[in-house]
Every structure is written in structure tokens, then in C-alpha cells.
A and B are shown apart, each in its own frame.
Chain A
Amino acid sequence: EVQLVESGGGLVQPGGSLRLSCAASGFIFVTHGMSWVRLAPGKGLEWVSDISRGGGTAYYADSVKGRFTISRDNAQSSLYLQMDSLRDEDAAVYYCARLAPGISKFFDNWGQGTLVTVSS
């Protein structure tokens, strides 16, 4: 059974930093691209970032580019999101999501999410 377990969320002041982690199990981690998707209060789903299977290619939403960094450790089957210079509008539940096999970028499995609150 595929499992994605996020951690690292919490309360942070504007301008602060957080590092989210996602522990994957139940599948061969290196065979899938991975992604972060967020759901802000009262809003819809927003793709944040994704990373290729080997970790050599990453993409970001314009809203986080230059502030967030996605990475992965295939030996540890883990995905990360380093979030710097956090803003009020970054407050959301952040989901770790597995990309479908191949080149089709839809999300076939999701974690339960971790809550990020940005407030002074």
C-alpha cells in the first residue's frame, strides 16, 4: 500500500522558514516524480512544485519561485520542501503527492497533509 506521510508543518512568523518532509513507502520511490500541492483556507488546490525521479529537474509555481526549494533523497524515500521568506498567503495545508508513472503529470496518491500557519 502506498503511504505518504508529511511532517514539519507548524506556526511560523512572516519572513520565517520551515522545512516540510514526506516519508514514502509501499512503492519504489525512485520510479516516480513527486510534488507538493497546497490548499489554502477558502481556496482551491494549488500546485506548488515538483521534482523528477532522479532529482535533477524541478519546477515551481511563480508564487513560490525563489523562496521554496524542493528536493528528494531516494536512498531514504523522502521528499522535502524548504520554505523561506514565508508570507501570509503561504498559509495552507501542504500535501505530498506522487506523480503518475511516465510523463503524465497527474497525482495518483496523496499524503494526509501538514498544516502551515503564517502569522505574527
Chain B
Amino acid sequence: EIVMTQSPATLSVSPGEGATLSCRASQSINTKLAWYQQKPGHPPRLLIYSASTRATGVPVRFSGSGSATEFTLTISSLQSEDFAVYYCQQYNDWPPLTFGGGTKVEI
């Protein structure tokens, strides 16, 4: 099973600042990585797939990068609606499909 590790667990940021979230895979997953955003009481929303491709409708302030075992989600100039929990998910080797533990971005 591929283990996904996200850091930090919590990130405190002020509106207008940037944020960098990390995701590490226990073995190479090429670029088979997705990022999701989840707000309390809402389902997850796909942000990024193939490590760096924005999903339809996702603002350009969200960008993904990385390959093999190290990945980054960058949010430039955080807006109020960006405060949420972010998850990475690998789909290179399954089953199982595995998620990271999440990073909470808070004010």
C-alpha cells in the first residue's frame, strides 16, 4: 500500500498571503496525484489532477507541482473561501486508492 503523508497538519495563514502544502508518497507515483479541497459540511472538491492540471472551474491561484514522491499545492494570495482542509490522493498503484491525512488551512 502506498502511504501518503501531508505536511503540515495545520497551516495558519492571513488572507492575501500565499500557502504551500506538501504531500509525500512512500514510493514513486509518477504524476498520478490529485488534490481536493473540503470545507466543513461539504463534500470534497477536485482541484488538481495529474499533479499539476487544474480541474474545470478551479481558480488560477491554485497550482500543483511535483513528481515521483514529492508534491506541492500552492495557493497564491489566499481568499476567505480557501480556508478548508486539503487532501492529496494517489492513483498510481491500487487497490487501495490512498489519501493523505489532510492539511487544514486556517486563518
Of the listed stretches B19-27, B71-79, B99-107, name the one at the interface; the rest are far from the partner chain. Answer: B99-107
Residues of A within 8 A of B34 (CB): 106-107
What does DSSP make chain B's interface, helix, strand, loop or mixed? loop
Q: How large is the interface on B (under 10, 10 to 19, 20 to 34, 35 or more residues)?
A: 20 to 34
Smallest distance from the beta carbon of B70 to chain A beta carbons, Å?
A: 19
Classify the secondary structure of A's interface with B.
Answer: strand
Q: Is B55 engaged at the interface, CB distance under 8 Å to the other chain?
A: yes
Q: Which residues of B contact A59 (CB under 8 A)?
A: 94-96
Interface size on A, residues (CB 8 A): 24
Is the CB of A11 closer than 8 A to any CB of chain B? no
User: How many angstroms from the CA of A46 to the CA of B101 in the assembled complex?
Assistant: 9
What is the 8 Å Cβ interface bit string for chain A, positions 38-54, against chain B (1 contact, 0 not)? Answer: 01000011110010000
Inter-chain contact A110/B99, CB cutoff 8 Å? no
Q: In the complex the two chains form, is A60's CB within 8 Å of B95's CB?
A: yes
* B44 proximity list for chain A (CB < 8 A): 37, 45, 95, 107, 110
Expressed in whole angstroms, the minimum distance between the Cβ of B97 and any Cβ of chain A is: 4
Cβ-neighbour of B102 out of A37, A44, A107, A108 (below 8 A): A44
> Cβ of B32: which chain A residues have Cβ within 8 Å of it?
104
B interface, CB within 8 angstroms of A: 32, 34, 36, 38, 42-46, 49-50, 55, 87, 89, 91, 94-102
* Further pairs besides A45-B36, A104-B50: 10, Cβ < 8 Å: A44-B87, A45-B87, A62-B96, A95-B43, A104-B91, A106-B49, A107-B46, A108-B49, A108-B55, A112-B42
Q: A interface vs B, CB < 8 Å?
A: 35, 37, 39, 44-47, 50, 59-62, 95, 100, 104-113
